[in-house]
Amino acid sequence: MLLQGSFFSLPFRSPLRLRPPITHHHLPRKFSFAAVSSSASYAISDQELESRGFIFRRTIDDLNLDHLNSVFVAVGFPKRDTDKIKVALEHTDSLLWVEYEKTKRPVAFARATGDGVFNAIIWDVVVDPNFQGIGLGKAVIERVVEELLQKGITNIALYSEPRVLGFYRPLGFISDPEGIRGMVYSRKNKRK
Ligand SMILES: CC(C)(COP(=O)(O)OP(=O)(O)OC[C@H]1O[C@@H](n2cnc3c(N)ncnc32)[C@H](O)[C@@H]1OP(=O)(O)O)[C@@H](O)C(=O)NCCC(=O)NCCS
């Protein structure tokens, strides 16, 4: 999910399966809420990913924001001001990105904001189209969710485009739990 203006045990599929970019709309459509257990058993271990040249990073120190922005754009998010992305990331509680060792560029990303105790929302979940379908999206979400759970945060929400609901469901997210619907106030939604 994109902030405007502004989560098993399966084998790693190898070799890398590259697939063409998918066009994505950036508008939030559905709220999903996490109902995950706190066992940190990941589909792919950090070591397994590392052996394939993917390194997890948890700070923005070595993150080239222009490169990150180009991943956002490559998946169909609108290009955003890099300075604003920097501010957004500085106000982010949990952040995880995957660096591809060969190019030093970010190929997967997700972050979460929240109140640090009860609630968190996951934003900007992206995987470079050239690296989609090899488990990076799942790897990133699993780890962001685990980090939040470790902090005691158990109410984890995100927006999902309809076409991505099937990605989030196996990761523990459910839509409209007990009939609760997400509502969004957005200037562009306002009636003229
Ligand atoms: C959605 C996205 C993050 C998924 O990342 P990914 O690295 O391609 O996904 P993974 O390879 O980790 O897939 C994990 C599992 O989810 C499944 N999956 C991936 N995308 C899916 C989709 N759109 N719908 C249903 N299932 C999906 C995979 O088949 C895989 O299933 P398996 O574990 O049974 O093998 C990535 O496609 C992306 O960046 N899309 C564009 C941006 C976007 O839409 N972000 C979400 C905004 S709401």
- pLDDT tens column, 57-107: 999 999 999 999 999 999 999 999 999 999 999 999 999 999 999 999 999
pLDDT-based confidence at 115, cuts 50/70/90?
very high
3 state SS of 120: strand
Q: What is the pTM of this model?
A: 0.85
Annotation says 168 is catalytic: yes
Which parts of the chain fold into alpha helices (H)? 46-51, 65-74, 82-90, 136-150, 165-168
Contact 173, 32 (CB under 8 A): yes
pLDDT-based confidence at 125, cuts 50/70/90?
very high
CA distance 153 to 151: 6
Determine the residue of 71, 164, 165 to mutate for testing ligand 1's pocket, defined as the one with the most ligand atoms within 8 A of the Cβ atom. Answer: 164
Domain assignment present for residue 160? The answer is yes
Q: What CATH number is attached to the domain comprising 74?
A: 3.40.630.30
The number of domains in the chain is 1
What pLDDT, on a 0 to 100 scale, did the predictor assign at position 191?
64
Q: If you measure from the C-alpha of residue 138 to the centroid of ligand 1, how many angstroms do you get, rounded to a whole number?
A: 7
Domain assignment present for residue 3? The answer is no
Residue identifier of the C-alpha nearest atom 12 of ligand 1: 135
CA neighbor of 126 nearest in space, from 117, 136, 116, 112: 136
Q: Tell me the CA end-to-end span of the chain in Å, nearest whole number.
A: 26
Residue identifier of the C-alpha nearest atom 26 of ligand 1: 167
Q: 32-68: per-residue pLDDT in tens?
A: 765 444 457 899 999 999 999 999 999 999 999 999 9
Domain assignment present for residue 172? The answer is yes
Domain assignment present for residue 80? The answer is yes
Domain assignment present for residue 12? The answer is no
CA distance 185 to 120: 18
3 state SS of 47: helix
